[in-house]
A and B are shown apart, each in its own frame.
Chain A
């Protein structure tokens, strides 16, 4: 009896559908990922508001100040005072004046004298920060020479 041998003993899986799917996934993640440099700090829990829509034209110069509380993993405040988060440094709001003056100098050096006047101070503050401290921060910024201000809020589409 003659045994008909198979073409080969190696079973070749059809790779095409898997590669199709994988490319789809890659394309999806590539589109969704944004490498935009944001100066957002995750420790800040922004207040939510319906009217907060992302600006149509991104601002050129902005100085982002993240104001929030240091919280533990349960979300409880470790320190009752809010801080301005500056990289790894946490500065108390009332002590932030010298830093703002330095920001002004940096802005002027970078973009020419008086550039700080066109710079917007974007305040990203936690929803529980006392309003008075935000006002103090604005006052300190004004003393440092900044004139434009903006408050950040989370977009909120639902009711609330």
Chain B
């Protein structure tokens, strides 16, 4: 039997067709590049507002209800942060640090009663939402400067009923 050998040096060398593979690979590459959407990570704050909290408040008053009042300037910027009856200023990052310290003081002295405590945030109607988030954040906890891990203080945050401009 005569085995037909390929001519000369082509013998034994299998030539893979690269072109189609590269075509497909580039298609895939372009597809993934176009579908790439960079999404900034988002976190959330839980708000504890069961239905009828205002009506049912008389039945079982929570043991420690901390009130944080946020006053607004007419343009929506922060006017004043009031913790209980104490004004904490309106210098945006620093006053929330002070609020955070006040909360730490309360939680620390409460000796693990943080679960029973709740914070009510009572903001002016036109206050920009970012300040409300800052206030919620400084009541919820802080980032530990050493470990960079969040430390939780008070989980139960609620918002006061809205102060409509005509009614207040």
30 residue pairs from A and B, CB less than 8 Å apart: A7-B9, A23-B25, A25-B29, A26-B28, A33-B32, A33-B36, A33-B37, A49-B134, A49-B137, A51-B43, A130-B126, A130-B127, A131-B72, A131-B124, A131-B125, A132-B162, A134-B159, A135-B123, A135-B159, A138-B49, A138-B159, A139-B161, A148-B46, A149-B46, A149-B48, A151-B133, A155-B41, A155-B42, A159-B93, A160-B93
Q: Is the interface of A mostly helix, strand, loop or mixed?
A: mixed
Q: Mark A26-59, 1 if CB is under 8 A from B, else 0.
A: 1001101111001010000011011111110000
Complex interface: stretch among B60-68, B80-88, B111-119, B138-146? B138-146
Q: Is the interface of B mostly helix, strand, loop or mixed?
A: mixed
In the docked arrangement, what's the CA distance between A130 and B21, Å?
56
A115 within 8 A of B: no
A128 to chain B minimum Cβ distance, whole angstroms, is 5
Contact size class for A? 35 or more
Chain A residues in 8 Å Cβ range of B90: none
Contact size class for B? 35 or more
Chain B residues in 8 Å Cβ range of A151: 44-45, 47, 133, 136
B51 within 8 A of A: yes
A-B contact count (CB 8 A): 160
Q: Is the CB of A147 within 8 A of B127?
A: no
- A19/B22 contact (C-beta < 8 A), A131-B132, A153-B44 known: yes
Q: Is the CB of B164 within 8 A of A52?
A: no
Q: Is the CB of B49 within 8 A of A149?
A: yes
Q: Is the CB of B143 within 8 A of A50?
A: yes
A22 within 8 A of B: yes
Q: Give chain B interface residues in 29-58, CB to chain A under 8 Å.
A: 29, 32-33, 35-37, 39-51
Chain A residues in 8 Å Cβ range of B164: 132
Residue of B nearest to A7 (CB): B9
A127 within 8 A of B: yes
In the docked arrangement, what's the CA distance between A88 and B124, Å?
31
A15 within 8 A of B: yes
Q: Is the CB of A26 within 8 A of B29?
A: yes
B1 within 8 A of A: no
Chain A residues in 8 Å Cβ range of B134: 47, 49
Residue of B nearest to A28 (CB): B32
A63 within 8 A of B: no
Q: Is the CB of A131 within 8 A of B123?
A: yes
In the docked arrangement, what's the CA distance between A132 and B37, Å?
33
A150 within 8 A of B: yes
Residue of B nearest to A127 (CB): B130
Chain A residues in 8 Å Cβ range of B25: 19, 22-23, 26
